[in-house]
Amino acid sequence: MVTKKEIAEHLGISRTAVSLVLNNTPSSTISLETRSKILQAAKDLGYRDVEVSPKLCYILYDRDANDPRYMTDLQIMEAAASRFNYGLVFMNITHAPESLSKLQRSLENQEIEGFIVSGDVDEKLVDMFSHSNTPYIFYGLPVRDKENDLNFVAFDNGKLAFDATQYLISLGHTRIALFMGSMDYHIHQLTLEGYSQAHKENGIPLDKSLIQISNDENGYELGKRAEMLQLDYSAAFCANTVIQFGVLQYLQSKGVSVPSDISLIGSGLTELVKISVPQLTTYYVSTADKERTVSLLLEIINNRNSAGAFSSRVTEFDRFEGGTASSWKPKGKQ
């Protein structure tokens, strides 16, 4: 059976582009011409459509379908599902009534065996799945205080923030900024807790002026704001690679050397990490840990009449060295 990799090699394009098209991902980065070529090649080469395979669905909720963080995860889930002979389809759902109605129809028609739910999950979405008979798993910690009754794979973002901040401290940094998104989201609340705990355990006073928030997670603007406020920092922990990449772009536009002048460390292992110059230094969840989401969902599917919820928590993280973090050097000695 022909694979997506073979289709990509046949056309001389990236496997990501092939996956996005064959998963029906609404990605504006794929032109109509390229989309047509991929579909025609899949047909000519005898690609086995996921329509004839049992299907899982990856839902991205209230997030941009082009967000590189989630596209990387989608590819990991697709590869894991294929090893169990499942196809993976993609749905980009928002909190708008018509979008939720579309999801409700998918839950009711039972054409999809199980759902992996990611993005900015809210109580409305949690209630929809908890009252459904369709197997599901939330990818990431669901709404706070409801996790005891839900299926989920959670990543301890507080521990990741602690580890990343601790690493910067081990490099000699004590003036460490925190750049993150809205505090309305549990993930950023945990990030702040981990960042603060690392300071406390090392006896470093917490300077709250170094904690900067951008609701739209615009790293470029966060870097600009830090300069306008004349913040004194030698390193920064960024809550994700989108923010980190934006901060890096701003610093470089101002002639600031990273990491010689300012070190940056982030969270995640997306395509931005490796296309960046220098490559981004990050802490991230291993591919094996992410792939367990599919294994757990299949366990839920096979034991759907079992009482109780299925859950898993990831508390250990890997570090991608990249090139944006280095030891602190006093000014004038760089």
Edge-to-edge order in the sheet of strand 318-320 = 211-213, 176-180, 235-238, 263-267, 281-284, 318-320
Rounded-to-integer distance, Cα 182 and Cα 173, Å: 25
The H-or-E segment that residue 81 falls in is helix 68-83
pLDDT at residue number 40: 85
Q: What pTM, to 2 d.p., does this model score?
A: 0.80
pLDDT at residue number 305: 57
- pLDDT for residue 27 is more than 60: no
- Average pLDDT over the chain reads 89
Q: Contact, 94 vs 127, CB < 8 A?
A: no
pLDDT at residue number 48: 64
pLDDT at residue number 333: 55
Ranking 59-68, 96-105, 109-118 by mean pLDDT, the lowest is 59-68
- pLDDT for residue 52 is more than 60: no
- pLDDT for residue 160 is more than 50: yes
Q: Which residue has the higher pLDDT, 175 or 18?
A: 175
Rounded-to-integer distance, Cα 269 and Cα 318, Å: 10
> Which of 24-38, 53-67, 238-252 holds the top average pLDDT?
238-252
Question: What domains can you pick out in the chain, each with its CATH number?
Answer: 4-156+287-316 (3.40.50.2300), 157-284 (3.40.50.2300)
pLDDT at residue number 176: 98
Ramachandran class of 206: left when φ > 0, alpha when ψ lies in -120 to 50, beta otherwise: beta
Q: What percent of the chain has pLDDT over 90?
A: 60
